[in-house]
Amino acid sequence: MPHEPISIYVVDGDPRALDAQTAVLSAEGYATIPCGSAEQFLKLFDPDLKACVVMELHLPGMSGSELQDYLASNGLDIPIVILTAHGDVPSAVQSLQVGAVDFIEKPSPQSRLLEAIGTASELIFDREPNRLSQKIIAQRLRSLTDREREVLEHLLKGKLNKEIAVDLNVSQRTIEAHRARIREKTRTRGIVDLIRMFG
């Protein structure tokens, strides 16, 4: 499927990872702008360029989360895809709440990254990405039991399984079982999809 000719800033402090990601995206026909740090990205950033950012969270100097906050607080609107080797639930929740398009943990299939960039492209060109209707989301939420909804609320706050288990006074295995049923009933792959749907 042809994509819009957007540019992609690739921000990663690991030179090998930076080279690899740049090569993959260049092979897909994207103009790439490699940046070894958040500071380098800010020097190269052109607000008039139709572009998105593929960014690692752990960077030398300013972190990916700090860069996200800086861009948001300064009204610099550019879609951001987090591609990180240091992912966890709280980081995912925080990044998505600040407005990241997707939160992807390394290693992941190339198709997942390209799908996220496709969503970013839709946003850049002011087209509404494919989203589920509120009616379908409400139906999926209603399919959950009271306890599953309770677990979901804790997940959306960025809590880990063991923390939820302590809060609800149940075993961690019970929480894992609830999470599996929540994913099945809501047809989601994990926390990122859940935040998108219910966050």
pLDDT at 56: 94
pLDDT at 77: 82
CATH number of 134-198: 1.10.10.10
The Cβ of residue 189 has, within 10 Å, a number of other Cβ atoms equal to 10
Residue 1 has pLDDT above 50, yes or no: no
Residues near 134 by beta carbon (within 8 Å), at least 6 away in sequence? none
User: Range with the lowest mean pLDDT among 19-33, 65-79, 167-181?
Assistant: 65-79
Buried b (16+ CB within 10 A) or exposed e, 98-108: eebbbbbbeee
Residue 98 has pLDDT above 80, yes or no: no
**CATH superfamily of the 7-124 domain:** Response regulator (3.40.50.2300)
How sure is the predictor about 190, in pLDDT bands with cuts at 50, 70 and 90?
confident
How sure is the predictor about 191, in pLDDT bands with cuts at 50, 70 and 90?
confident
Question: Between residues 61 and 192, which one has the greater pLDDT?
Answer: 61
Taking CA atoms, 16 is separated from 11, 39, 40, 158, in Å, by 12, 19, 17, 31
The Cβ of residue 37 has, within 10 Å, a number of other Cβ atoms equal to 16
pLDDT at 198: 80
Write out pLDDT tens, residues 21-69: 999 999 998 999 999 999 999 999 998 889 999 999 999 999 999 999 8
pLDDT at 74: 83
Write out pLDDT tens, residues 104-118: 888 888 898 999 998
pLDDT at 2: 43
DSSP summary character for residue 1? -
pLDDT at 147: 94
How sure is the predictor about 86, in pLDDT bands with cuts at 50, 70 and 90?
confident
Write out pLDDT tens, residues 111-162: 989 999 988 888 888 755 556 677 878 888 889 999 999 999 998 888 889 9
Alpha-carbon gap, residue 45 to 115, rounded angstroms: 23
Going from N- to C-terminal start, the domains of the chain cover 7-124, 134-198
Alpha-carbon gap, residue 118 to 101, rounded angstroms: 10
